[in-house]
Structure 1
Amino acid sequence: DSRMDGIDILKQVKRNNPDVPVIIISGHGNIEIAVAAIKQGAYDFIEKPFNIDQLLVVIRRAMETSRLRRENQSLRRQDTGPTQMIGASASFKGLISQLDKVTKSNGRVMLTGPAGAGKELAARYIHANSNRASAPFVTVNCAGVAPDRMEEVLFGRENAERGVEPGLLEQAHGGVIYFDEVADMPLGTQSKILRVLVDQQFTRVGGNDKVRVDLRVISSTNRDLEKAIAAETFRQELFHRLNVVPIAVPSLEDRREDIPVLADHFIAEFNTVQGLPKRDISDEALALLQTMVWPGNVRQLKNLIERVLILAPGDNDTVLGASMLPTEFLDGIKRSAIGSDEGYLAKPLRDAREDFEREYLNAQMSRFNGNISRTAQFVGMERSALHRKLKSLGLTDEDRGAS
């Protein structure tokens, strides 16, 4: 359009292609025009007449700067996280079934579950198996960004000194934006994100032009958002926009049967990534792991496996036994089994045996997620005999749930 001047053309180019470096050459240069050009994202401003060698130097610098910026952005948004889901329990299979149903759509997903359960892994699984798999997966750590910087981080910014700096929303264009722990997003930012979800466009901080984006949104939280809404720390309308498909990620205690395969997976992973020895783990150690309380869920299990591989004695062929588990872990198991007030040695044989059977069977039932058939097979009892034993020990479903 001949009616557009250089600044107008610059604005249109940067709006449609923000990563393309632009050099303004003008025969009517003054400081005001130069400042306006740089503010709108120009790499440099050159007045006529100019030296061709000088122009070539500026072009080379602009191309190198653009290349480095693209590489930096690519590395920042590159999906380098794991996408493989590991498990075979009923809870795990139920989760995978739900995730597979949402991979081929663009519906917004809200992942709920305790810290360390694998919500980000579930989000990456959705992305990796969707039609956006080749596009970016960008994580927004809502709890890790200072509230006063959140909008610059999300929307980017424009200023005279540094030009246009795309934010995470812009970097995720065409792919997935993942709001990790969305309950920690500042209330003021929530209203602006709500507008982005409605309009699929936004304005950079310090800018005036609209930036259009095509995004799929996945969010996660370990908190009760309905309580946050009641406390007026989370916007109800945003909740309804994000919570189109709610999926609960089970805790590790809800999928104890997966602990052996998860342990083997982490041992192999640490061998590949860190060069730690690839060692077998004993059945006794696995049984203890399956009876442990896991407040940190899968993340805690992974950390424990790493610690054991680093500190356990013996060579690469030595099996990791129960005695090689951390001392505080073994002490906790021992206290749980014996009781905090008095041990088995202080009781008559009949009472001590009954206490042991109760603790043992309760632990095995927890290990197999309450599955009577699998527990009976493991402990070597007939299913009907186990039923009778559990009833005599007061280990009904109600009793176990209250314990």
Structure 2
Amino acid sequence: MIRQNRNREKLANYYNMFTQMGTLDPNVHPWVAESWEKSKQHNIDIKRFNDLQGLNKDELKILQGHHRAAIEYMQEYTEGIKDFLQEYDLSLLLLDKDCNVLKNYSSPYNRLLSKKIEGVNLQLENVGTFSANITAQYKSMFWLFGPEMWLQNYHDCDSGSAPIFVCGEMNYIVTILCRDYDKLPQDAIISLLMSIKTAMEIHLKQKTFLQAQKTILDATPFAVYHILKNGDVAYANKLGESRLAGIGAIDKDVTLNLNEVLLNYQHTPIYKGFDGISCINQEVTWTTTSKTYEDITTVIPIKDEFDQSVSSVVTVTMPIEDLRMLVAHAAGYTAKYSLDTIVGDSTACVSMKDRAMRAARKNNHILLQGEPGTGKQRLAHGIHMAGLRANGPLISINCGDVPPELLEQELFGAKTGQEVSHPGKLELASGGSLLMDEIEKLPLSLAEKLAHALQTRKIRRIGEDIERSINMRIIASSDGNLRRLCEKNLFDESLFEIISRSIIHLPPLRSRREDILLLANSIMSELLAQHKIPAKEWSDEAIKVLSEYDWPGNIKQLQGVIENAVLSTSSNIIKAENINLMGNIKPDSKWKEDKEIFIRAWQSAGGNVSRLANLLGVSRVTLYRYIKKYGVEK
């Protein structure tokens, strides 16, 4: 609130009437009157500060550190007006919103305030009525004439305070004290105060915006650059600085000119950008003396509003490898299981998990071997999550599910058009792991090509001559014994040598019977939670059935049997008769017409004719007839 000059004798009389007799003249400004009454209630001495103690040196240093931007700006601002402040004996203070004095910018020869004022709190309960604490209360500029101040020592000077708002919130207060009010007009001081307020608010708002902008740019997965026409890099975000350092473009904290580090600079979209040509998400090759990079690049020219000339460009780039990793994460190519999710307390299971943990911490390729259904895929997920590549993608491919003629394209990628080329899973897994299920079904010629790629860490997409680097770990799984397959020339020996540096054998369920009930309970708990089914438990007879069965299909078969028992039993007790060891395959006549159902039943029985005959409720003779009919071999 800007107030016109007042008669000081009258103001002094109002002050004396109140402090001596308690009488409040109606002409006293309402804000001042309220402040006087509170000052009196707090028993503030009118002759001196009330036991005023400032922050100690260390506390003040910490407080000033929190407000360094505002303090440094005021220091720069007052540097230009220090002669003015000294000539008119002006005291200039910067306070935080709680009225703590952050900095005194007064001349060293100022008669009003010494440097000791820094760290002192000027709230009403400490100093009584003062322009700064009125501004703090009402969040408004306020001019206080000398006789209105509570402390008599300051009655011969006026005080003006202005709030400093940043992003809609009052953060600071600037206060000026003036003793030579006859020499310097009140309007001049108010103009100075307004000037400081406006300039500081603009500066702090811009600084807050720039800090937020920098944080955003540093957090983005792209390298962002502002490049001048001569090739100088005016700005780079955190990732951009890292990449510049990686190509030797930063020497002793000085960023070199791009003409000096990029051999093909004049053939890049950046150079063309200075002709006003934009580039959006284009695949660009950058050539340096040490390495060649491939990026997805966007270049936007910054044009002058008047003549559309271009003096600089903004460039956003992302390495193709990083983009693939980002896409892989977005597509859900991440591990779903940790090693902790592998259930089992048996010696065989604990030993397997320990070996998996040790293998995960190395960077070797890994081979998982075990019967079908032993949990190789879950273990592979756990190894990926426990390894150094956990932040990278986990890409999967089943070598038995993809036709041989398409498998090479799936792994190595292919050029499908004049300007269209797709990466394969070896590239998509960059920085992470490639899980190759049923690797024993990989054709020999393709296995040999894969072995060469893993040795050189380079590949070529089908139909291309461009050599690309790969960086992933293979986690291969096999139902059979790869070493024996190599001896029979059914699997490439060179590939086996590469992936078998860490071999982990997964024990069959029949060799870890003490884990069967733990697994059954874990599977049941997941099913109950998933389907929101009330709690169930096993009868003793059911436990006996589960524990004594050989489980030729291992954990996968157990999963199907448990799921069938839990979902088909209405009672909260699952009995032995509720357990169908063929899972969702029922002993009806459908197997007589459907080969697939018969084979699944045959697998559930582990290829044991007597067991299958009992499960299906038929004689062995009848069963042999259908085995011959379907051409099934053990």
Same fold (TM over 0.5): yes
Structure 2 residues without counterparts, runs of 5 or longer: 1-262, 272-282, 302-317, 588-610, 621-634
1:87 to partner: Cα distance: 0.5
Aligned equivalent of 1:256, options 513, 521, 526? 513
Alignment-mate amino acid for residue 112 of structure 1: Q
> For the structure 1 residues 328 and 304, does the alpha-carbon distance in structure 2 shift closer, same or farther, using more than 3 Å as the test?
closer
Matches of 2:576 and 2:550, distance apart in 1: 16
Alignment-mate amino acid for residue 178 of structure 1: L
| TM-superposition CA deviations, 1:118-159 (whole Å, max 9, x none) | 112111111111121111111121111111111211111234
Matches of 2:417 and 2:614, distance apart in 1: 65
Q: Does 1:323 align with 2:577?
A: yes
1:234 to partner: Cα distance: 1.0
Q: Which residue of 2 aligns with 1:128?
A: 385
> For the structure 1 residues 165 and 272, does the alpha-carbon distance in structure 2 shift closer, same or farther, using more than 3 Å as the test?
farther
Q: Which residue of 1 aligns with 2:404?
A: 147
Q: Which residue of 1 aligns with 2:285?
A: 12
Matches of 1:232 and 1:311, distance apart in 2: 47
Matches of 1:327 and 1:297, distance apart in 2: 12
Matches of 2:417 and 2:612, distance apart in 1: 62
Alignment-mate amino acid for residue 320 of structure 1: I
Matches of 2:343 and 2:581, distance apart in 1: 28
1:274 to partner: Cα distance: 3.9
Q: TM-score, normalised by structure 2?
A: 0.43
Q: Which residue of 1 aligns with 2:422?
A: 165
Report the 3-state secondary structure (helix = DSSP H, G, I; strand = E; otherwise coil) of the residue aligned with 2:543.
Answer: helix
> For the structure 1 residues 21 and 186, does the alpha-carbon distance in structure 2 shift closer, same or farther, using more than 3 Å as the test?
farther
The aligned runs of 1:15-164 (5 Å cut-off) are 16-17=293-294, 20=296, 73-76=328-331, 78-83=333-338, 84-160=341-417, 163-164=420-421
> For the structure 1 residues 294 and 327, does the alpha-carbon distance in structure 2 shift closer, same or farther, using more than 3 Å as the test?
closer
1:328 to partner: Cα distance: 6.1
Matches of 1:71 and 1:223, distance apart in 2: 35
Alignment-mate amino acid for residue 209 of structure 1: I
Q: How large is the RMSD of aligned CA atoms in angstroms?
A: 3.8
Report the 3-state secondary structure (helix = DSSP H, G, I; strand = E; otherwise coil) of the residue aligned with 2:430.
Answer: coil
1:77 to partner: Cα distance: 5.5
Matches of 1:286 and 1:104, distance apart in 2: 38
Conservation of the 8 A alpha-carbon contact between 1:292 and 1:333: no
How many equivalent pairs are there? 302
Q: Does 1:178 align with 2:435?
A: yes
Q: Does 1:220 align with 2:452?
A: no
1:239 to partner: Cα distance: 0.9
Alignment-mate amino acid for residue 354 of structure 2: S
Matches of 1:114 and 1:203, distance apart in 2: 34
Conservation of the 8 A alpha-carbon contact between 2:412 and 2:462: yes
> For the structure 1 residues 335 and 146, does the alpha-carbon distance in structure 2 shift closer, same or farther, using more than 3 Å as the test?
closer
Matches of 1:205 and 1:334, distance apart in 2: 51
Q: Does 1:238 align with 2:495?
A: yes
| TM-superposition CA deviations, 1:3-44 (whole Å, max 9, x none) | 76469x9551698446x266999xxxxxxxxxxxxxxxxxxx
Alignment-mate amino acid for residue 323 of structure 1: E
Structure ID, larger Rg: 2
Matches of 1:189 and 1:257, distance apart in 2: 41
Structure 1 residues without counterparts, runs of 5 or longer: 26-62, 342-403
Conservation of the 8 A alpha-carbon contact between 2:363 and 2:388: no
Q: Which residue of 2 aligns with 1:365?
A: none
Give the number of the structure whose residues are more often strand, by fraction: 2
Percentage of pairs with the same residue: 26
Give the number of the structure whose residues are more often helix, by fraction: 1
Alignment-mate amino acid for residue 497 of structure 2: H
Q: Does 1:302 align with 2:302?
A: no
Report the 3-state secondary structure (helix = DSSP H, G, I; strand = E; otherwise coil) of the residue aligned with 2:345.
Answer: coil
Report the 3-state secondary structure (helix = DSSP H, G, I; strand = E; otherwise coil) of the residue aligned with 2:451.
Answer: helix
1:183 to partner: Cα distance: 0.6
Conservation of the 8 A alpha-carbon contact between 1:115 and 1:222: yes
Conservation of the 8 A alpha-carbon contact between 1:267 and 1:278: no
Matches of 2:344 and 2:527, distance apart in 1: 18
> For the structure 1 residues 133 and 326, does the alpha-carbon distance in structure 2 shift closer, same or farther, using more than 3 Å as the test?
same
Highest RCO, 1 vs 2 (Cα 8 Å, sep ≥ 6) = 1
Conservation of the 8 A alpha-carbon contact between 1:157 and 1:165: yes
Alignment-mate amino acid for residue 486 of structure 2: I
Alignment-mate amino acid for residue 380 of structure 2: A
